[in-house]
Chains A and B, each alone.
Chain A
């Protein structure tokens, strides 16, 4: 459902993303790993149509983000990094606004807003201003706005960053729940998360794809079964004891 074909991005002379391709099918969660500055967010911004691609293309449910941007964006839910929100709006009002912008009609919008509020456990804060919410709630509001139009493809940029362990757990459970009928691309640098929620993962470093496979394959490269050792060996080119690439 989500297909990325040799996508590249150049900022001036700096090659931020170089020829990255992958595919995510329905019912699948693809983990997108890499050190900070590897090009994860840039790739995601290109897939969502926020940034123009320098080369290559991405298709969402068969619609090209280059040529059919709006159609592609209709099937897409996106949680940007740090979950930016319109802070001076109320939670309910904000979700209704997003629903309208996603061209849900009035009745459908009302129903969907209630559904996502329940799904993301926002019932207690629905009449609060977003700026007064805690980090955890803001993340969930951001997730709720991405789900309101029931998109087929979800792109989550570090959705659990800065959450406490309980909140992380809740978000992961929700992602697993959603994964049944959607295709999800999730970027993270928390490696346990990969084992817990992802069916497959990709590692990129300095804009290039370095690894693609299941978390178990990744783990099996280390004789001790330590996924972080493998990650370090792949992204830093170091030879680590017990890691066999």
Chain B
């Protein structure tokens, strides 16, 4: 990071995750939860599939993220606004853009740390068989980018309200819609009141479809672009919101 201001703010925000209970609660619940779901005794379980792959592991990633990512993102701005520290932050020589990027990157890297904590899963499948490591890598990449997109959504709603609970609920709802955008119930509902091309656009916004195709080992730049553009748009939205706060 060339920008010193972003780097300093990033360091402060990131170490904050390691100093507060939030960070550890997240890590424990995420690692325990994803581990349990992977091996849970259902039909899609790791043992039932009888193959050395991480399919059952990545399958649950969107659903873990649906509840855990908003918990990380909800305090990004709400907390600063509620306690008034945003006054401190924005009267330092920092632009809103720098602050938004630094906070987003800090939370994203934190999720990256959480993801890297699942490395025993990889060791397990490598020990058990001969998995396609390219697919495993793509799965992680997809998870990481999906986390980034959902974090950007959460950051936006955190900038919208001073109340962390509202920001959490809104993020969960919108994330759920985005994840499920390609599923028949949601599409059926949308098609009752909107024309076909809108339904098609909505379907193409589905996080799950983009995640699934990457997680299955199909590498296409368009999937990465999808997540990148989503991150940029939602971050830009946060910048606009925070700039709007300055005016009113």
Count residues of A near B (Cβ-Cβ below 8 Å): 30
Q: Are A85 and B91 interface neighbours, CB within 8 A?
A: no
Q: Are A76 and B85 interface neighbours, CB within 8 A?
A: no
Cα-based distance from A80 to B90 in the complex (angstroms): 11
A45 part of interface (Cβ distance < 8 Å): yes
Minimum C-beta distance from B18 to chain A (A): 11
What B residues does A26 contact at CB under 8 A?
none
Q: Are A73 and B92 interface neighbours, CB within 8 A?
A: yes
Q: Can you name the residue of chain B whose Cβ is closest to the Cβ of A90? A: B19
Interface residues of A (CB under 8 A from B): 11-12, 45, 48-52, 70-71, 73-74, 76, 78, 80-82, 84-89, 97-98, 100-103, 145
Cβ contacts B218-248/A at 8 Å (1 or 0 each): 0000000000000000000000000000111
Q: Most chain-B Cβ atoms within 10 A of its Cβ — which of A12, A71, A84?
A: A84
Q: Are B93 and A50 interface neighbours, CB within 8 A?
A: no
Q: Which secondary structure dominates where chain A touches chain B?
A: loop
Minimum C-beta distance from B95 to chain A (A): 7
Q: Most chain-B Cβ atoms within 10 A of its Cβ — which of A45, A100, A101, A102?
A: A101
B43 part of interface (Cβ distance < 8 Å): no
Q: Can you name the residue of chain B whose Cβ is closest to the Cβ of A41? A: B87
Q: Are A101 and B16 interface neighbours, CB within 8 A?
A: no
What A residues does B85 contact at CB under 8 A?
84-86
Cα-based distance from A168 to B84 in the complex (angstroms): 23
B12 part of interface (Cβ distance < 8 Å): yes
What B residues does A103 contact at CB under 8 A?
4-5, 93
Q: Can you name the residue of chain B whose Cβ is closest to the Cβ of A88? A: B20
Could you name 25 residue pairs across A and B whose Cβ atoms are closer than 8 Å?
A: A11-B248, A12-B248, A45-B87, A48-B91, A50-B90, A50-B246, A51-B246, A70-B93, A71-B93, A73-B93, A78-B87, A80-B88, A82-B84, A84-B84, A84-B88, A85-B85, A88-B16, A88-B20, A97-B8, A98-B92, A101-B92, A101-B93, A101-B94, A102-B92, A103-B93
12 additional contacts (CB under 8 A) given A50-B87, A78-B87, A80-B88: A48-B87, A49-B91, A50-B90, A70-B95, A73-B91, A74-B93, A76-B91, A80-B91, A82-B84, A88-B16, A89-B12, A103-B93
Q: Are A88 and B93 interface neighbours, CB within 8 A?
A: no
Of A12, A87, A89, the contact of B83 (CB 8 Å cutoff): A87
Minimum C-beta distance from A78 to chain B (A): 5
What B residues does A88 contact at CB under 8 A?
16, 19-20
Q: Are A85 and B93 interface neighbours, CB within 8 A?
A: no
Cα-based distance from A78 to B93 in the complex (angstroms): 12
Minimum C-beta distance from B210 to chain A (A): 36
Q: Which secondary structure dominates where chain B touches chain A?
A: helix
Minimum C-beta distance from B45 to chain A (A): 40
What B residues does A145 contact at CB under 8 A?
88
Minimum C-beta distance from B142 to chain A (A): 33
Cα-based distance from A78 to B16 in the complex (angstroms): 24
Cα-based distance from A73 to B16 in the complex (angstroms): 25
Q: Can you name the residue of chain B whose Cβ is closest to the Cβ of A70? A: B93
B9 part of interface (Cβ distance < 8 Å): yes
Q: Can you name the residue of chain A whose Cβ is closest to the Cβ of B92? A: A101
Minimum C-beta distance from A107 to chain B (A): 16
In the complex where A97-B8, A101-B8 touch, is A78 in contact with B84 (Cβ < 8 A)? Answer: no
What B residues does A87 contact at CB under 8 A?
83
Q: Are A52 and B247 interface neighbours, CB within 8 A?
A: yes
What A residues does B20 contact at CB under 8 A?
88
What B residues does A97 contact at CB under 8 A?
8, 12
Minimum C-beta distance from B13 to chain A (A): 10
In the complex where A88-B19, A101-B8 touch, is A78 in contact with B246 (Cβ < 8 A)? Answer: no
Minimum C-beta distance from A241 to chain B (A): 41
What A residues does B88 contact at CB under 8 A?
78, 80, 84-86, 145
Cβ contacts B78-108/A at 8 Å (1 or 0 each): 0000011101101111110000000000000
What A residues does B5 contact at CB under 8 A?
101, 103
Cα-based distance from A80 to B4 in the complex (angstroms): 25
In the complex where A73-B92, A100-B8, A102-B93 touch, is A80 in contact with B83 (Cβ < 8 A)? Answer: no
